[in-house]
């Protein structure tokens, strides 16, 4: 690492950068085999003003709802529907593994130090079925109003488990094939569509176990499983905690690389993130048992009034017809 007459280095997996001053620093990573360099890559790291310099305050016009400002559509069966392309759709999604949506608030959301639940993101999971997605947060560190700074993952129930693959990458190709950074390969499911105009695209995210769709409906810390999220659960790329005072952007991305023969790819579905520090109203999803149960919502407002809405019965169906995507 070089910049501002400062040179630092590391031979470990992670470089802990301690900038001498504000400015840009060139970081070069070199891979060696038996002491011989075989690959090299470089990037620029910007050291910006201290935390809080570009914190955006709540005003009378601030909304507790985030706006969907960007998305990356991984192959999926709904990537050409309003769910994926319409920012105002009721239920959003972005395809299979690491298909993502980026949301921006018009103000910074402050971390609540006591019993902090700053974000509320409703999905549509129920007992025996969920499509977990990782939730990432970002501060507008450089003050330009764009999500081009550092993403921090909110740790979930399985994030640091040995069976979870962090920094798992899949490269999808136009011909329907895919390869991963751990040696896996295959083809996308028959219901999935490759929507990109590029010949290939790589998506990187934390990957949960294949059967997360079946066992993960109550897992905390994942979109389309739980609904309440705390900024205090943010971690850095090496898994260590990061003490963020506030956030400005949210990224939700499918965390399962799995294809279900009856329903297609596992792809997280969710509503717009809400700033739970601006309103005490919450939409609570009751866990459901398999069979002839119904969707039941409860809307609880500040006065304690409870409105129950039943959205019809589910017919029993077989959730066990699935095919692994492989590694």
Q: Is 79 exposed, middle or buried (0-12, 13-18, 19+ CB in 10 A)?
A: buried
Angle (CA) 167 101 224, round 5°: 80
For residue 115, the model assigns a pLDDT of 66
Q: Regarding predicted confidence, which is higher, 137 or 54?
A: 137
Residue 274 has pLDDT above 70, yes or no: yes
Place of tokens 């601030």: 62
Q: Regarding predicted confidence, which is higher, 213 or 303?
A: 213
For residue 27, the model assigns a pLDDT of 83
| Ramachandran quadrant class, 40 (left: phi over 0; alpha: psi -120 to 50; beta: rest) | beta
Residue 306 has pLDDT above 90, yes or no: no
- φ/ψ (deg, to 5) at 232: -65, -10
For residue 204, the model assigns a pLDDT of 97
Percent of the chain with pLDDT over 90: 49
For residue 6, the model assigns a pLDDT of 61
Report whether 258 contacts 322 (CB < 8 A): yes
pTM (two decimals): 0.82
| Model pLDDT for residues 89-132, shown as the tens digit of each residue | 878 999 999 999 999 999 999 998 766 889 999 888 888 889 99
Residue 150 has pLDDT above 80, yes or no: yes
Percent of the chain with pLDDT over 70: 81
Report whether 99 contacts 254 (CB < 8 A): yes
Average of per-residue pLDDT values in the chain: 82
For residue 310, the model assigns a pLDDT of 43
Angle (CA) 161 166 171, round 5°: 140
Report the distance separating Cα 270 and Cα 131, nearest Å.
10
The alpha helices in 31-115, defined as continuous H runs, are 82-85
For residue 288, the model assigns a pLDDT of 28
For residue 13, the model assigns a pLDDT of 74
* Residue 207: other Cβ atoms inside 10 A: 27
Report whether 207 contacts 153 (CB < 8 A): no
């Amino acid at each position: 690492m070089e910049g501002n007459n400062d040179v630092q280095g590391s031979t470990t997996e992670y470089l802990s950068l301690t900038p001498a001053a504000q400015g840009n620093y060139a970081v070069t990573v070199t891979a060696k085999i038996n002491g011989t360099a075989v690959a090299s890559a470089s990037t620029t790291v910007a050291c910006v003003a201290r935390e809080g310099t570009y914190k955006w305050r709540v005003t009378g016009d601030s909304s507790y709802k985030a706006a969907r400002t960007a998305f990356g559509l991984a192959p999926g069966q709904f990537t050409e529907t309003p769910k994926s392309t319409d920012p105002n759709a009721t239920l959003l999604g972005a395809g299979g593994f690491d298909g993502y949506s980026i949301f921006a608030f018009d103000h910074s959301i402050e971390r609540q130090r006591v019993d902090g639940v700053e974000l509320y993101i409703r999905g549509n999971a129920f007992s025996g079925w969920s499509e977990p997605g990782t939730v990432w947060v970002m501060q507008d560190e450089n003050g330009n109003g764009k999500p081009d700074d550092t993403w921090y993952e909110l740790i979930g129930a399985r994030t640091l488990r040995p069976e979870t693959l962090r920094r798992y990458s899949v490269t999808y190709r136009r011909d329907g094939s895919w390869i991963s950074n751990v040696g896996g390969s295959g083809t996308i499911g028959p219901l999935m569509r490759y929507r990109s105009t590029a010949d290939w695209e790589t998506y990187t995210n934390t990957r949960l176990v294949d059967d997360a769709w079946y066992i993960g409906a109550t897992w905390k810390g994942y979109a389309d499983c739980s609904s309440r999220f705390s900024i205090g659960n943010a971690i850095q790329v090496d898994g260590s905690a990061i003490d963020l005072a506030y956030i400005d952007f949210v990224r939700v991305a499918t965390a399962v690389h799995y294809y279900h023969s009856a329903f297609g790819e596992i792809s997280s579905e969710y509503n717009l993130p809400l700033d739970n520090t601006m309103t005490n109203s919450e939409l609570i999803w009751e866990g459901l048992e398999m069979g002839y149960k119904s969707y039941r919502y409860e809307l609880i407002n500040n006065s304690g009034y409870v409105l129950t809405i039943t959205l019809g019965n589910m017919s029993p169906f077989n959730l066990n017809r699935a095919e692994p995507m492989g590694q």
